[in-house]
Structure 1
């Protein structure tokens, strides 16, 4: 019987896909969801630098490295050395020195990596260079203090740092740089293989997450999210895609996911993408993301200020899909299932009312007392479905769940909640290695009392003040069997950035792609 639902859902998704690719942005224009983003610099590797390019030099101290393959005369090197001394440039991580008018190079940019740079530190250098050169059109050469294949690390950072989302601008739009960036070193073929095999797919996964979350909600909604995901996985080996529409979910008793979206004319979806690499374990790890494509708060309506940013309330689901893209395109020897619980939370006459009782797939009941605590509702059904259908060895949820986590951690960390110590330790290590850091917050037994309902098994929000992030995490964990290793990542403070950093341009960050990719590879 289940296969019947899957075939029906898949056919429905394919039938709706063309309509999902375009939505009216204004009364007089149609903008496709796949509109070309601004061009990015092509990334290449060579033993010798092309002529006439800006030069970026990766520095580990105050001494200009040899720069084999780069045309820099003794007099030009002397001029650079004098500038270094004059500016007291020391090559510390994050430091820069920009020089113009030296030789044939339109610009020479020195970027510090620190004395013994890690892979992540080298990526930061690449991202810093991309940010510094984002408004300059000429080709770029990057060379300096990296050996073996570590140029691939710098290239990866450059790919992340050059991201931009301005596809809907038509007035005063800055032309994107078109000149290619070439990494010059002693082993260009090795560096290119390392970049293509590992880092380029990861950058593509981050880009997918950022694109999905940056798109307006009239372009990305449950159906079109599915359509864009299908396109991202076209012709990728080892991947299978399952989609449940509302009819299928209702027949399976998934009342919470469907209930959240019943105030919107755009139906909810449950999207599951499974990737199984060679020699991977039989049981997958499940990454389950909140995919609220727009969150008005439902009948518990949010304030108007900042509501437009709620187009990014599906960042968890977007980053899950980005992580699976990375793992699948790099042919990682892992077995993972990425789940997107997709709904639009709107306040029309058919919307859920505070006080309603809904039922999950397993039959557990929820008193829905706050329609703006909807992310945990869609994750309840998604967790139960993936547990029953795919029998994962661990479940990791990722969601823009609470404002409380922002109050606790600001935008420096995502909140980590876990019942399994080994899984928690792996997540913290993956966060440190990827640059997407976590801070563990408590799951205390007393929180169960705060979430008790007089008329149902649990309520979706506690009354009064309290540890909101922990209470939300407790609710989600209620729908995961105690015997299954489980963790929850609350990314509400880190999914969006108000200012650019080296690896994260302003806007939706794609937080979680790098972290989940690293976690999957850490087994």
Structure 2
């Protein structure tokens, strides 16, 4: 950036065409030249050992050494994830000092710092909250802003008023200014490459958080149409008659017990070369899962409003790719149904014929995710001839028992694709753990009257993955991500506040960035 531009010391607000995401008030992100303001509400980051230069040293000098003395008295040394929070200090309304530790900071660590600052800003009544970053990492401003956008997410649309012990209606409103050596121009890079992904994550979180009386298959489709408006996307929707003509017995069986009919939604983005095979992302979209006839216990059944997170993840990924004009072809498939018990519901013991001609015997109507995915996977392979397929599903409780919420389970027959996904998970902060996918699982799924059973035996997560894989051509690179557990945070993280995480959007975006652009 030229000296004359830096001398202007102005902020470039990020105004880009935005999708109709949640109406929750959040701070506007803006960018400015590196400088250390002498007043206001300020956040700075310091490495372990407390630096002798940069923002920390500048403020310490202004306060005649009071900042270092305050740090020493509080035992603050700049260790990773540590915080020194000073109110009414040295002319500042608030000075927030964040420790970053000793190690060099990868982009995901920068995002965590941005998220930590944004969450502090979300609880603050200050109209302007500033973050000064001394480092010279490439694209530091974009990653700090990306983390801030993710970290400040909130979903308040159904609250009619703030409670007496809440932070208040004005908390979290105003501006969050990111000051780096890239200056105001950093806003352009953020707007082009990272804001679309942050918006996509927010959209997926919104969908996953909505109650089932506000979001069902047809409403899911309507919201995706609204979000896709103005973007270079094509939408295809199969209704019940269309699915019936194609013989999609899997998705129809799951949806037949509900008064709200199922849908198959395809969202296509052609940003690559004409004729190149697309990347296919297929998501389980059960807008509410009662378990059907194999009904779940009441305890925590409310969380089954989020059983459509896989579908939310894949459509949001493609929305993000289109928003940032990624040079790839991609298609998202959302297999949408509501799994309810009724006189018309499918039963354990029923035999279902899928669109591929393959049949399965229902052992449990609560193993519905794999049922809807059979037809979705067949259809995208027939229509789009993809170069690879990744399916995403909140599939099994057994993966939660195995991995908790720290990792999602990765199952794949393709070592190269598995390696790419593992690397993308580490880079994005949405980490995967590869699980076994043994051929002998198929023996445990044999049915005496159909091609397969839809469940039975253990390991449950592996059996579910194997079943799904039977509807994917063997030569096609395929991976199954079981995101049950990682789709929801009971306690917040810097870039994923408590609640729906939209796990997989950042992961799949990173997969595309690093390996297919």
CA offsets 1:441-472 (integer angstroms, 9 cap, x no match):
1111110111011111111011xx51000000
Q: Among 124, 127, 149, which residue is 1:136 paired with?
A: 124
**Alignment CA distance shift 1:50-1:264 (3 Å):** farther
User: Where does residue 429 of structure 2 map in the other structure?
Assistant: 435
My pick for the range that moved more, 96-105 or 200-209, is: 96-105
User: Where does residue 9 of structure 1 map in the other structure?
Assistant: none
Do the aligned residues in 2 keep the contact of 1:58 with 1:146 (CA within 8 Å)? no
Q: Among 437, 446, 449, which residue is 1:455 paired with?
A: 449
Q: What is the Cα deviation at residue 385 of structure 1? A: 0.2
SS in structure 2 at match of 1:37: coil
Q: What is the Cα deviation at residue 280 of structure 1? A: 7.4
User: Where does residue 322 of structure 1 map in the other structure?
Assistant: 316
Do the aligned residues in 1 keep the contact of 2:22 with 2:155 (CA within 8 Å)? no
User: Where does residue 470 of structure 1 map in the other structure?
Assistant: 462
User: Where does residue 11 of structure 1 map in the other structure?
Assistant: none
User: Where does residue 83 of structure 1 map in the other structure?
Assistant: 70
SS in structure 1 at match of 2:402: helix
Q: Among 497, 501, 509, which residue is 1:509 paired with?
A: 501
CA offsets 1:79-130 (integer angstroms, 9 cap, x no match):
2222223233232321111111223321100112233111111110111112
My pick for the range that moved more, 437-446 or 100-109, is: 100-109
Q: Among 153, 156, 159, which residue is 2:149 paired with?
A: 159
User: Where does residue 353 of structure 1 map in the other structure?
Assistant: 347
Instruction: Work out whether 1:211 is the aligned partner of 2:197.
Output: no
TM-score by length of 2: 0.90
Q: What is the Cα deviation at residue 65 of structure 1? A: 4.3
User: Where does residue 17 of structure 2 map in the other structure?
Assistant: none
User: Where does residue 378 of structure 1 map in the other structure?
Assistant: 372
Instruction: Work out whether 1:110 is the aligned partner of 2:97.
Output: yes
User: Where does residue 191 of structure 2 map in the other structure?
Assistant: 196
Do the aligned residues in 1 keep the contact of 2:237 with 2:266 (CA within 8 Å)? yes
Instruction: Work out whether 1:125 is the aligned partner of 2:117.
Output: no
Q: What is the Cα deviation at residue 36 of structure 1? A: 5.1
User: Where does residue 233 of structure 1 map in the other structure?
Assistant: 228
Instruction: Work out whether 1:273 is the aligned partner of 2:267.
Output: yes
My pick for the range that moved more, 471-480 or 102-111, is: 102-111
SS in structure 1 at match of 2:55: coil
My pick for the range that moved more, 392-401 or 324-333, is: 324-333
Measure the CA separation in 1 of the matches of 2:39 and 2:274: 47
Gaps of 5+ in 1: 1-33
Measure the CA separation in 1 of the matches of 2:265 and 2:190: 30
Q: What is the Cα deviation at residue 194 of structure 1? A: 2.2
Measure the CA separation in 1 of the matches of 2:101 and 2:68: 18
Measure the CA separation in 2 of the matches of 1:481 and 1:65: 59
Q: What is the Cα deviation at residue 328 of structure 1? A: 1.0
**Alignment CA distance shift 1:36-1:438 (3 Å):** closer
User: Where does residue 16 of structure 1 map in the other structure?
Assistant: none
Q: What is the Cα deviation at residue 77 of structure 1? A: 6.5
**Alignment CA distance shift 1:320-1:127 (3 Å):** same
Measure the CA separation in 1 of the matches of 2:436 and 2:199: 34
Q: What is the Cα deviation at residue 71 of structure 1? A: 9.2
Gaps of 5+ in 2: 1-19
Q: Among 330, 333, 355, which residue is 1:336 paired with?
A: 330
My pick for the range that moved more, 70-79 or 512-521, is: 70-79
Instruction: Work out whether 1:221 is the aligned partner of 2:207.
Output: no
Do the aligned residues in 2 keep the contact of 1:291 with 1:313 (CA within 8 Å)? yes
SS in structure 2 at match of 1:67: helix
Q: Among 10, 24, 31, which residue is 1:45 paired with?
A: 31
CA offsets 1:370-395 (integer angstroms, 9 cap, x no match):
10000000000000000000000111
Q: What is the Cα deviation at residue 419 of structure 1? A: 0.5
**Alignment CA distance shift 1:295-1:256 (3 Å):** same
Q: What is the Cα deviation at residue 230 of structure 1? A: 1.0
Measure the CA separation in 2 of the matches of 1:271 and 1:245: 9
**Alignment CA distance shift 1:71-1:226 (3 Å):** farther
Do the aligned residues in 2 keep the contact of 1:280 with 1:333 (CA within 8 Å)? no
My pick for the range that moved more, 360-369 or 337-346, is: 360-369
CA offsets 1:184-223 (integer angstroms, 9 cap, x no match):
1232234212211222111111101100000000111101
Please give the root-mean-square deviation of Cα atoms over the aligned residues, in Å.
Answer: 1.9
Q: What is the Cα deviation at residue 322 of structure 1? A: 1.6
Q: What is the Cα deviation at residue 75 of structure 1? A: 2.8
CA offsets 1:316-358 (integer angstroms, 9 cap, x no match):
1111112112111111111111111000000011100111111
Do the aligned residues in 2 keep the contact of 1:60 with 1:145 (CA within 8 Å)? no
User: Where does residue 135 of structure 2 map in the other structure?
Assistant: 146
